[in-house]
Amino acid sequence: MNEGSRHPKVVKTDAEWRAQLTPEQYRVTRGHGTECAFTGPHLSQKEPGVYSCVCCGAPLFRSDSKFESGTGWPSFFRPVDPEAVVEVHDHSYGMHRIESRCATCDAHLGHVFPDGPRPTGLRYCMNGVALSFRADAPTGGSAS
């Protein structure tokens, strides 16, 4: 899955992931789970910054691509880099969906749907526990 990508893979044992992540982060990212709607972090985060993979720290989305989808999960219309997120066909629960995974460590992030806003028309519906957020450094200001 990531052959030829400029994102080198991060590979850890199950024990290493369990030691690094909270039980909920592990359940969602390594066990392909889903957090309950409206319960995860980052849903109402408005600050400019970067959302990264909670497992490996790879940058995934910028706040300028985040939008309010009303679904209860942080939603974005494009990744920070087209190669940052890989898409995998998911046939679980008798449905066909497109799963979004971190290209660097293969963490389950959420799913992508074709009902997002312009310019892409995509909605990357992400589990908040799969993401960490780093605010942009303040710019400008007065010199003393």
List pLDDT tens digits, range 75-112: 999 999 999 999 999 887 788 889 999 999 999 999 99
The stretches of the chain forming alpha helices (DSSP H) are 14-20, 23-29
Confidence (pLDDT) at 139: 76
Determine if residue 55 is labeled as part of a ligand binding site. Answer: no
Domains contained in the chain, number: 1
Query: Is 2 inside a domain boundary?
Result: no
Q: Which domain holds residue 62?
A: 14-134
Catalytic residues: 125
| CA-based radius of gyration for the chain | 15
CATH of the domain at 115: 2.170.150.20
Asked if residue 56 has pLDDT above 60, the reply is yes
Q: Which two tokens stand for residue 101?
A: 């995974």
- Confidence (pTM): 0.88
Determine if residue 102 is labeled as part of a ligand binding site. Answer: yes
Query: Is 143 inside a domain boundary?
Result: no
Query: Is 6 inside a domain boundary?
Result: no
